[in-house]
Every structure is written in C-alpha cells, then in structure tokens.
Amino acid sequence: MYFCFVHNSILNHINSPKELRQLNQDDLPQLAKELRDFIIDIVATKEGHLGASLGVIELTIALHYVFNTPDDLLIWDVGHQAYGHKILTGRKAIFNTNRQFKGISGFPKRDESIYDAFGVGHSSTSISAALGMAIASKLKGENKQHIAVIGDASIASGMAFEGLNHAGVTDANLLVILNDNAIGIDPSVGALKQYLTNVKKGTEKQDNIFEALNFNYSGPIDGHDVNTLITELERLKTVKGPKLLHVITTKGKGLKQAEEDQVKYHAPGKFNASTGDLILKTPSKFTKYQDVFGLTMVELARENNNIVGITPAMPTGSSLKYMMDIFPDRAFDVGIAEQHAVTLAAGMATQGLIPFCNIYSTFLQRAYDQVIHDVALQKLPVVFCLDRAGLVGEDGATHHGVFDLAYLRCVPNLIIFAPRNEIELRNIMYTAQLGLELPIAIRYPRGNGNIEHWKQPFEKIVIGKGEQLKKGKSIAVLSLGTIAKNVSDAIKNLEVSHYDMRFLKPLDETLLHQIFKTYQTIFTVEDGTVKGGFGSEVLEFASKNNYSNTIKILGIPDEFIEHGKVDELQQYTGLSAESIKSAITNQL
C-alpha cells in the first residue's frame, strides 16, 4: 500500500524508513527537496557539515527505500554525508541538537541508533567493517545486504584498498557504493582520482580497476536521479558476491554557493538559509594556530630550500595551502594516507630534506607504527606538526586530540613539545629546521591563539628547557601547552607558582628537582588523557627520585569525551580556569 502526501508535507510523515518505503516512488523527488531544505535550514543556524550531506540526498533516500534497514546493514564512510540518513531514521525531531553538548553526534554512532551499523569519523573504514559484517552474516546463515558508502577521496586510502583486496577473493554479499564527487574536504588528489575522472569522461582505455579486483562493477550513474538509483540498487540486490556501484554526485547539491565553493561549504558555519550567503563573524584580532603554522612555513621555506611540507588531505585545514600556493613543488597533499605521509617524510629526511609533516593529532593515531618503525627507530629528523591537539569541540570523540602525549611519550628518540602560544610555535618551528638530530612532535590546538602581534623575530629554543611563568608559595602548578592560559587565569589572585614545562620529552629534570625541593604540593595540568600523559611522566620522575610530595593530576579523564563547544568540554573535564582554580583553592 503506497501513501501519497500533499507536496511540502511528505517529510513530516517520515519518522523511519518504514514510512519511507510506503511512499509512491513518484513522491521521492519531492521528499529529496524537503530533506535538503530541512538540512539547510538547521545547519544555517546550528552549524555543522553541509556539502557532503546535500550531495547524497537522493542516494540516501534510494538506499533506505530499496534495502530493509536496519536488518540490512548500511555504513557511511567518515560520516560527513549522513545527515539525511539521521533525519530519515528517527532523529528528525532532535536533529537541531546535532553536534551540540548532550545532543546527537555529527557522525553515525552505534549507541545512538540501531540504524547506525558502525561508528565512523575517520575515513576509509567502511569497506573493512562491511566486509566483516558480511562474513559474519554468512557464517550465521543470515540473508542480509551489506552496503558501504565511500567517497572517491576515501577510497584512495590504504585501508580502503586493503578491504577491497580482501573482499575481491571472497563471495561475501557486499555492495560498495563509490560516491564520486571529486572532493573530500579539499579536492581529491592522486592517480586514482585521475583514473575516475577518465572513467567519467569515457576516455579510460585500461581495464576497470575494480573489475581487476574481482568486483562486479556497474556505473557510473547519476547519483541525483533517484529513479535510476532505485532501479540499479534493486538489480544489485540479486547479484551475488562483492560488487561496486560507481555513482556521480555534486557535493553541496541544491545550494548554489555550496556547489560553487565546495571547500568553504564543507562546514561553512552560520549562513542565510534563503540566500546561502555566509553570515560573516566579527574578525578576531587573534590568528588561528593553523595559520601561524602555515604562514611561518612560508617564511622558513623562503630562507631554507631544504624545507618541504606534507599533509594527508588537509591543505586547507592545516593551512599548508599557503606554502602550496607559493612553493608548489615543495608542498605535498598525499590524500587520505597518513601512513604514507609519515614514511614519505622519513624517506625525504634520509636525503637531507627537512620535512614538516602536518597531521591532525587524532589522525596521527593511524600512522603510529610508521612513527615508531620508520622515523624514531632510525632517528630521522622529521618535524611532526600535530594540529587539533586537545579538545577540538563539536566533532567529538573521533576527533579530540587527547591521546598524543600518552602514545608518543613512550617512543624513544622522539622530542615532544607543546607551545603555550603562537610565538612559541613559531620559534620551535624555526628551531626544528636549524638541524635537529632527532624527530620532534609539536602539538597545538584548533582555533585562535591569544597574542595579537605574534610575528616576532625568530629565537632558538633550547631543547628540553622549561620556564617559570609566576612565582608564588607552597603550591606549584606545572602546565604543558596552551592550557597554560587557563592556569594563568585560574591563579591570577592566588599565591601559587606556575611553570610551563614546554617539553614532555626530554623533560627538564633540573627544573623539576628544583620544584620538588621547593613546593610540597604540585599540580600538573594538560589537555590530554591523564592515563600515561604529562602527569604520569611527573609521577614517574617523583617515584624514580624518591620524592614524597603531594601530586595532583588534572587532565582528560579516562573516558571518550563527547562533542560540544570547547569551553563546555573544558568545564566538563575540569580544565576550565574556574575548575582549575577550585581544585587549587580546595588544596590550599
């Protein structure tokens, strides 16, 4: 029995895919328009990822229309494209809480909905996960469909190829949908991107790469033609084994500005829902840390021809774009390939280049073996610039850079530095290119700094040297990185000493001995996990040297922190200035 609703009111009646499947197919284009408008209206005021979800509206509707979700398992790679999916699967009424503290996640999340078959946030995991599910279904004798929706930027990642490679020698009931729009956050890069471009143009003469991997390939088809999508998906339901459907879409579809400026409208902030025009924020007098990095890279590269820059698919987000514009032969976007980025940097370092490898803190987790095996073990002086360290805000648990201090400090031969401000970031970058004998990891946060005139003459930083910022009595607070500002605000009117340790490795043990002999109570403050991080390092120092001082560790608790504004999350984790002050005054 099909239901037909008056135009402009179809979405009001859709609270799950069950109602969607009862619609007449002729009503689906109108539903697509309503769904787009719904997303645009809410993201315009609440902010979030926009272009990716607008580009897959028809595909989202077709998938839930054809497949029996949630029994059939649907995985959205990365998850930027899943807003329509969330709205159609019971979260329409609470979609306005998207990415807000205590609201729904901006990404698919297993404990949020039965329709979210797999939690995502990092790219290129969908094929492996869907294959695992397909194999499990076969072993259990279940007749289910397993669908992975992956973008052309994500499928170029090594992990996606690993999944394809395995799937091609199985008879698993797996459908990979390649959402080909030629852009991730920034434009897609690499030979596979060029191959797909040639396929779309009809100029590719070689054998199909996916058929060579034993996939039943179909396409490319128009991803905005819901009827064509439904016809092809119905056919593919009857095809056994691994198959791949190549779908062509436009990121930002349905909003003129989002189609024309796909990078800016990936996550545009607030905008006018009627016109699409961005609502400009009052410009901050402070500079984003990523821009301090990017502009400093250009300065240093002008003077040192051996400097090169590397980023895995984040030239805009990391601000390496500044160097790419001026020195295009010396700045490399390697695509979503963190492991390759690190070992590429290692190879360059063996030949005397000075690679600045800029990777978001949370994404470096994906290249941990390469950091250990290819860089640190060989003492290669790669400069890791870890953007988005600490709490990053609305992207939530998959993106918080809170583990880097813990997972890096146990690696031998690695210097770890956390600048407390923009000038310190500039100076450690300057120091790193003067000729270190070991690799260095420099971690800094997302967002603006707090020094207006940060472009000061370069000064060399002494490796392993901390410094005192304030002298007080009885209690010493040791901080690492930009959390120093919260500490300074917290102790402004307290007789408490404050030390910026600067280096987690090598630790300034001379300064620490002085501190432990002077103060009975010591606080450590870090925007990283309390398990194994800066505070743990100080505790180990105290144990090794038989100190019995009282040590209090403030940092990220041993849990995955949800999404919300950074100040909300700092309050929640006890890292706001008010929380730090309260902890210290309680001790006093």
Angle at 336 between CA 347 and CA 398, to 5 degrees: 115
In contact, 133 and 146? CB cutoff 8 Å: yes
Give the N- to C-terminal CA distance of the chain in Å, as an integer. Answer: 72
366: left (phi over 0), alpha (psi -120 to 50) or beta: alpha
Please state which CATH number belongs to domain 467-587: 3.40.50.920
Cα–chain center distance at 570? 19
Q: What is the pLDDT along the chain (588 residues), one digit of tens a residue?
A: 344 444 458 999 999 999 999 999 999 999 999 999 999 999 988 888 888 899 999 999 999 999 999 999 999 998 889 999 999 999 999 999 989 999 999 999 999 999 999 999 899 999 999 999 999 999 999 999 999 999 988 998 999 999 999 999 999 999 999 999 876 676 777 788 888 888 888 777 677 889 999 999 999 999 999 999 999 999 999 999 999 999 999 988 878 888 888 888 888 888 888 888 888 888 889 999 999 999 999 999 999 999 999 999 999 999 999 999 999 999 999 999 999 999 999 999 999 999 999 999 999 999 999 999 999 999 999 999 999 999 999 999 999 999 999 999 999 999 999 999 999 999 999 999 999 999 999 999 999 999 999 999 999 999 999 999 999 988 999 999 999 999 999 999 999 999 999 999 999 999 999 999 999 999 999 999 999 999 999 999 999 999 999 999 999 999 999 999 999 999 999 999 999 999 999 988
Query: Does 526 participate in catalysis according to the annotation?
Result: no
For 11-266, CATH number out of 3.20.20.190, 3.40.50.10700, 3.90.226.10, 3.40.50.970 equals 3.40.50.970
Query: Does 467 participate in catalysis according to the annotation?
Result: no
Query: Does 366 participate in catalysis according to the annotation?
Result: yes
Residue of 34, 338, 394, 526 marked catalytic? 338
Instruction: Please give the helix or strand (H or E) that residue 430 lies within, else none.
Output: helix 422-432
Write down the domain spans for the chain.
Answer: 11-266, 289-443, 467-587
**CB atoms < 10 A from the CB of 325, how many?**
12
Residue of 109, 193, 243, 251 marked catalytic? 251
DSSP letters, 458-504, are: P-PPPTT--EEEE--SSEEEEE-GGGHHHHHHHTTTSS-EEEE--EE
**CB atoms < 10 A from the CB of 168, how many?**
18
Residue of 366, 446, 502, 505 marked catalytic? 366
What's the predicted TM-score (pTM) here?
A: 0.92
Q: What long-range pairs does 5-10 form, CB within 8 A, spacing at least 24?
A: 8/34, 10/34
Does 467-587 match 289-443 at the fold level? yes
Listed residue (40, 491, 27, 484) closest to 271, CA to CA = 40
Please state which CATH number belongs to domain 289-443: 3.40.50.970
